């Protein structure tokens, strides 16, 4: 249930077209549904505009499938991140048209029309190895109703590749920069554009990258203005934040 559906339901009770028992049945799962191993937040779409997203790591495939089933009963679009092939197989057993984006490890179930914003989000990677995190960001943004332009493998080791794509990048309203190694690409992009830049450090790199910590510290210490930084490998967080900014 979203805000408009709740308003319609209450209007129906008010004008007598919906009886109280039916209305009670519709809203009794608000604000959440307790299924033992999880408390599903059906109220979230009313509060923040999008249903609860499922983080799959640490959950069994059976638990994930059951959560998806309960969310689907509310006719929601569903996004599940960090999902394995085994998780997807369990979900597909109950929803035949579920989609799996293998690189991003994301499951998508579409039950409502996605209204797409006119303004665009650009997702940029320093290297090909950063694409899985970038795809998590891009698919998240698309499911949330955004146009996404992907500009991949344009890192500082060959900076001319970035410059050749600046026309495309400059058309975006929000820019996500995904980079591992030393994470310098976010600073470079931040110094070239007048749009908010969301930097995503990745765990891609050799030993002194420290699993993404080196890239994270570089991005946090950037001398370019207008850069915000999310957690290491957090493509989902970047895509969600970019969507919120893009729709202001």
Q: What is the pLDDT of residue 28?
A: 62
Q: What is the pLDDT of residue 65?
A: 92
Question: What is the C-alpha separation between 59 and 176, in angstroms, rounded?
Answer: 28
Residues 198, 204, 210, 214: is their CA dihedral positive or negative?
Answer: negative
Q: Domain residues of the chain, as ranges? A: 20-109, 120-246
HEC per residue, 169-204: HHCCCEEEEEECCCCCHHHHHHCCCCCCEEEEECCC
- The single residue listed with the structure tokens 């994270």 is 216
pLDDT of 113 > 90? The answer is no
227-229 and 99-101 strand pairing = unpaired
Q: What is the pLDDT of residue 27?
A: 66
Q: What is the pLDDT of residue 240?
A: 94
Structure pTM? Answer: 0.83
Exposure of 4 in the CB half-sphere (CA atoms within 13 A): 2
Taking each helix axis from N to C terminus, what angle separates 61-72 and 85-92, rounded to the nearest 10 degrees? 40
The CATH code of domain 120-246 reads: 3.40.50.1970
Which of residues 24 and 183 earns the better pLDDT score? 183
How is residue 144 written in tokens?
């949330």
Q: What is the pLDDT of residue 34?
A: 66
Q: How confident is the model over 207-234, as pLDDT tens digits?
A: 999 999 999 999 999 989 889 999 999 9
How high does pLDDT run on average in the chain? 88
């Amino acid at each position: 249930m979203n805000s408009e559906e709740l308003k319609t339901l209450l209007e129906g009770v008010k004008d007598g077209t919906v009886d109280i028992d039916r209305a009670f049945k519709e809203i009794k799962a608000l604000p959440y549904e307790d299924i033992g191993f999880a408390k599903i937040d059906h109220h979230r779409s009313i509060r923040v505009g999008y249903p609860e997203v499922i983080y799959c790591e640490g959950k069994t495939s059976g638990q994930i499938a059951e959560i998806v089933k309960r969310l689907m009963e509310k006719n929601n679009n569903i996004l599940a991140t960090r999902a394995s092939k085994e998780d997807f197989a369990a979900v597909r057993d109950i929803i035949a048209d579920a989609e799996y984006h293998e690189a991003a490890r994301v499951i998508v179930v579409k039950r409502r029309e996605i209204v797409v914003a006119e303004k665009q989000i650009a997702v940029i990677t320093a290297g090909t190895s950063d694409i899985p995190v970038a795809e998590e960001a891009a698919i998240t943004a698309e499911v949330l109703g955004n146009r996404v332009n992907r500009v991949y493998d344009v890192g500082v080791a060959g900076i001319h590749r970035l410059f050749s794509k600046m026309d495309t990048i400059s058309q975006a309203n929000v820019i996500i920069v995904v980079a591992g190694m030393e994470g310098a690409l976010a600073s470079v992009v931040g110094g070239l554009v007048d749009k908010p830049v969301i930097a995503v450090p990745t765990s891609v790199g050799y030993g002194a990258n420290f699993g993404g910590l080196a890239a994270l510290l570089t991005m946090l210490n950037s001398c370019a203005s207008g850069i915000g930084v999310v957690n290491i490998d957090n493509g989902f967080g970047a895509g969600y934040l970019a969507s919120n900014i893009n729709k202001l």
